[in-house]
């Protein structure tokens, strides 16, 4: 996956500039750049997956729970890489698909054993793929300075466990915002390349978060993008 994203970014970088093309064909002014491709990286925040007791049934008429041991499970913060493809519907509105890949550590703290077994943190690594579709709205159309935006969307989060024997899929939805900074610009169209900073709040339900309700987590990413 990482290799595919790098290849895509190289292809975009090697494409001849649109300005040069227009010099070769002066009779045809360039159309608006509508397709945007971006790659970057960042950090996905931790995710609490809930607490649960391993319980027996007590020897009484109520059958009340007897705790054998307690568990507290969470997904640790982890670096992610991000790939993005967007389409500029208007100068302010972009629809886009985003894929992030990370490898967070899943940790379950085991404690409070009824027979005094020492508490431990049980761990495993999971590979996380989040694929979402969404929309982005720019608050300004001046392509020469930092431009704030808001975004939102939803998709699927897949978690592949350490030995690749178990794959869990849940629904990931997000809202966020950020800033876009042009590296090259034209008044007539979107910047031909630029930097983008994103801050998002993700809500995960189902999959690895099954039983934990709507599990929130933050994510911050930075990326470089190209339009053509």
Partner 1 sequence: MMRPVAAWLLALGLVVLGASPASAYLQLSLTLRGQVTVIKWNQTPVRWFSSRAEAPGVTAAQFQSAANAAFGTWEAVPAATIAFQYAGFTSATPSDDDDGLSVLGFESHPDMDRTLAATGFTIDLFSGAIVESDIFFNTAFDWSTSGAANAFDLQSVATHEIGHFLGLGHSALGETELQAGGGRRVIAAASVMFPIAFGRGITTDRVLQPDDIAGVSNTYPAGDFAQDTGALLGRVRLGGRGVFAAHVEAFNLRTGDLVGGFSLNQEGEFAIRGLSPGLYAVRVEPLDDASTDSFFDDPGTDVNFRATLSDRVVAVPKGGSSASIDVTVPSK
Give how many residues touch partner 1 by CB under 8 A.
Answer: 40
User: Residue for token digits 């064909």?
Assistant: 25
For partner 1, which stretch binds (CB under 8 A), given 20-28, 74-82, 119-127, 187-195? 119-127
Which of 2, 32, 53, 141 is the binder for partner 1 (CB under 8 A)? 53
| 71 lies in the site for partner 1, by CB under 8 A | yes
For partner 1, the closer of residues 20 and 115 by Cβ is: 115
Q: Which of 138, 154, 119 is nearest to 194 (CA)?
A: 138
DSSP state letter for 115: T
Site for partner 1, residues 130 to 169, rule: CB under 8 A: 161-163, 165-166
Please give the Cα distance from 38 to 221 (Å, whole number): 11
Asked whether the beta carbons of 114 and 67 are under 8 A apart, the reply is yes
User: Counting Cβ atoms within 10 Å, is residue 77 exposed (0-12), middle (13-18) or buried (19+)?
Assistant: middle
Which of 48, 108, 127, 185 is the binder for partner 1 (CB under 8 A)? 108
Binding site for partner 1 (CB under 8 A): 49, 52-61, 63, 66, 68-69, 71, 73, 106-108, 110, 113-124, 161-163, 165-166, 210-211
């Amino acid at each position: 996956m990482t290799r595919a994203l790098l290849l895509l970014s190289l292809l975009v970088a090697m494409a001849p500039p649109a300005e040069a093309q227009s010099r070769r064909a002066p009779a045809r002014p360039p159309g608006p750049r509508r397709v945007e491709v971006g790659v970057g990286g960042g950090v996905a925040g931790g995710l609490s997956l809930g607490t649960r007791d391993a319980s027996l049934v007590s020897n009484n008429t109520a059958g009340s729970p007897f705790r054998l041991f307690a568990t507290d499970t969470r997904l640790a913060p982890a670096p992610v890489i991000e790939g993005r493809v967007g389409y500029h519907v208007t100068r302010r509105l972009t629809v886009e698909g985003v894929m992030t890949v990370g490898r967070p550590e899943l940790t379950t703290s085991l404690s409070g054993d009824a027979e005094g077994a020492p508490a431990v943190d049980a761990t495993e690594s999971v590979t996380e793929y989040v694929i979402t579709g969404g929309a982005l709205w720019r608050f300004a159309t001046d392509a020469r300075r930092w431009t704030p935006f808001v975004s939102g969307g939803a998709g699927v989060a897949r978690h592949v466990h350490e030995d690749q024997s178990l794959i869990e899929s849940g629904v990931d939805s997000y809202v966020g915002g950020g800033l876009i900074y042009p590296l090259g610009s034209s008044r007539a169209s979107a910047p031909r390349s630029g930097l983008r900073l994103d801050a998002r709040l993700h809500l995960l339900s189902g999959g690895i978060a099954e039983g934990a309700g709507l599990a929130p987590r933050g994510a911050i990413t930075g990326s470089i993008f190209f339009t053509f």
